[in-house]
A and B are shown apart, each in its own frame.
Chain A
Amino acid sequence: GAVVSQHPSWVICKSGTSVKIECRSLDFQATTMFWYRQFPKQSLMLMATSNEGSKATYEQGVEKDKFLINHASLTLSTLTVTSAHPEDSSFYICSARVTQGVNSPLHFGNGTRLTVT
């Protein structure tokens, strides 16, 4: 159980276009999901906390107008990279915890590799 699914697993887009990444909790509900970014040979960096039914909370240095997060249901959060540029090319990963299980670990999706040309 506790599966987190991301879609797409990889995407290539042209500079200036927008890309939407979906994160779904398949067998549990998650009021909170988290979005991470990982550049090659670096560790994961938390970008933002996605809250169901309310605005996301962004980490310092992350542009909220560039990385739009929508958490419209208890099983789906989306990250939209707007006006993507080559420097946005990265591995984007989401995570979630079973809502009622504060003692349960965070589960991660398998990531989305974004390449902006």
Chain B
Amino acid sequence: DAKTTQPTSMDCAEGRAANLPCNHSTISGNEYVYWYRQIHSQGPQYIIHGLKNNETNEMASLIITEDRKSSTLILPHATLRDTAVYYCMAIIQGAQKLVFGQGTRLTINP
């Protein structure tokens, strides 16, 4: 799996859009970009994934650059409940194992 790099921590004001970057410059053609988050003392929660097109669901949007070397997870209207550690991973779809990095600790401030 390609290595990903994320900022250690970020802050965002409640109600604003939270934009979380992820670098995956060594991503291969058959690797998807996956995002999970972990709220304190809970198991990780799947957010979204994509290959090369931008994706949107009820939780977030995923913007992948044309060269696929980086991506941004967008939480359009962050709430206090979005405070969590966000993990970006580049994996082959259907891969059995997930390897978690350190992620980005996102704090939403009132």
Does chain A bind chain B?
A: yes
In the assembled complex, A77 has its CB within 8 A of some CB on chain B: no
- Map CB proximity to A onto B67-101 as digits: 1 under 8 Å, 0 otherwise: 00000000000000000000100000110111111
- Map CB proximity to A onto B36-72 as digits: 1 under 8 Å, 0 otherwise: 0010011111100100000000000000000000000
The A interface, classified by DSSP as helix, strand, loop or mixed, is strand
For B97, the chain A residues whose CB sits under 8 A away are 34, 46, 49
Given A43-B101, A43-B102, A103-B94 contact (CB < 8 Å): yes
With A and B bound together, what is the CA distance between A32 and B100 in angstroms?
A: 18
For A36, the chain B residues whose CB sits under 8 A away are 100
Among A11-19, A66-74, A78-86, A109-117, the stretch that binds chain B is A109-117
- What total of A-B pairs shows CB separation below 8 Å? 49
For A1, the chain B residues whose CB sits under 8 A away are none
Q: Residue on B with the closest CB to A110? A: B43
Looking at the complex, which one of B42, B98, B99, B103 makes contact with A110 (CB distance below 8 Å)? B42
For A105, the chain B residues whose CB sits under 8 A away are 34, 46, 49
Those of A9-56 within 8 Å (CB) of chain B: 32, 34, 36, 43-46, 49
Best-buried of B43, B87, B99, B100 by chain A (most CB within 10 Å): B43
Query: Whole-angstrom distance from the CB of B19 to the nearest CB of chain A?
Result: 22
For B102, the chain A residues whose CB sits under 8 A away are 43
Looking at the complex, which one of B43, B46, B49, B100 makes contact with A109 (CB distance below 8 Å)? B43
Looking at the complex, which one of B38, B98, B101 makes contact with A106 (CB distance below 8 Å)? B98
Looking at the complex, which one of B41, B45, B94, B103 makes contact with A113 (CB distance below 8 Å)? B41
For B41, the chain A residues whose CB sits under 8 A away are 91, 111, 113
> A93 contacts B101, CB within 8 Å?
no
Best-buried of B41, B93, B101, B102 by chain A (most CB within 10 Å): B41
Sample of 7 further A-B pairs with CB below 8 A, known A4-B43, A44-B100, A106-B46: A46-B97, A49-B96, A93-B44, A102-B94, A110-B43, A111-B42, A113-B41
